[in-house]
Amino acid sequence: MRALNDEDDNVRAQTFHAFRRWRSPEIASALFERLQIETSPRVRAWLVMYEGYSLIRERALPHLLTLLHSDPSAVIRTRVAFLMGGFGPQAVPALVDALDDPGAMRAAAMTIGRYGSLRALPKLMREWARPANQGIRRELESALRDTAITTAHAPHPPRPPSAQAWIQARINALNPTTIGQWPLRVFKEDLNALPLHGNAIFLWGLRPDGEILRMDHEAFGHPTVREDDPLTRFAVVAQGALRYPELAEDIPSPPPTARPCVTCLATGESCAVCAGLGWR
């Protein structure tokens, strides 16, 4: 243990390698103490690879999340994002934030895929379609697929009580001003629903009570019914959450067969393959 504080950073690095296969709270504590004062970039980059920090989770997690969020080194941020795979769903909100960090996005997406968090879905969808992320498209696609598969089999979290008032406030704030915005006026005044997504034929909206409506905007009288198809319910709320991130908590569980559409990169834009849903 004393060698961890040797003044030669080669000795410290070798000591880490001697310890890294052993998972115990004592070793985790010693490595964690060293991590907090270590100045050698090389040794720090090794120290953040120790998977045993999850044994001292309460102490280690806040510091590791600070590194994930704001360490100047992309190597450190990336390795911490991978390390978070051992820390449980508690780490998910920080990983969702890390999707905004080009340096750590790939690692954050891969770790999120292990947890399968619906709240990560809108951001993963947006980043998947972004041309700048072409180099990590495969990882983002895997994260989306893994998330859909995992959440399809997990119990859905209860709807937060605040959701109802939030949706109502957004409906009240709708402000159709032109004749061309008639669907918006119908959603606000007749249906009391927040528009989420549309394709060439239908528009979908969410009522404060969680009901999802489907309006045929091409047919006379624009008939409106309750949307009952599980894939469509999932896809339109996921699309709506791109515009309203608060809705990420309201995304219904997808059916087990749901996959992001590789033709339109989950955007649904003018896509015949997925009928504009972004998911198949």
Question: What is the contact surface with Zn ion in residues (CB under 5 A)?
Answer: 261, 263-264, 271, 273-274
Phi/psi region, residue 134 (left: phi>0; alpha: psi -120 to 50; beta: rest), is: alpha
3-state SS, residue 89: helix
Cβ 115 vs Cβ 149: under 8 Å: no
| Per-residue H/E/C for 55-79 | HHHHHHHHHHHHHHHHCCCHHHHHH
Measured over the CA atoms of residue 206, residue 212, residue 216 and residue 220, the dihedral's sign is: negative
Residue 172, Cβ density class (10 Å: 0-12 exposed, 13-18 middle, ≥19 buried): exposed
Two structure tokens written together for 268: 């649904």
Report, in Å, the least distance between residue 160 CB and Zn ion: 30
Report, in Å, the least distance between residue 275 CB and Zn ion: 8
Strands 224-226 and 194-198: unpaired
Report, in Å, the least distance between residue 264 CB and Zn ion: 3
Of residues 134 and 270, the one with the C-beta less far from Zn ion? 270
Of residues 248 and 266, the one with the C-beta less far from Zn ion? 266
Of residues 113 and 268, the one with the C-beta less far from Zn ion? 268
Report, in Å, the least distance between residue 248 CB and Zn ion: 21
Of residues 205 and 260, the one with the C-beta less far from Zn ion? 260
Of residues 66 and 263, the one with the C-beta less far from Zn ion? 263
Report, in Å, the least distance between residue 273 CB and Zn ion: 5
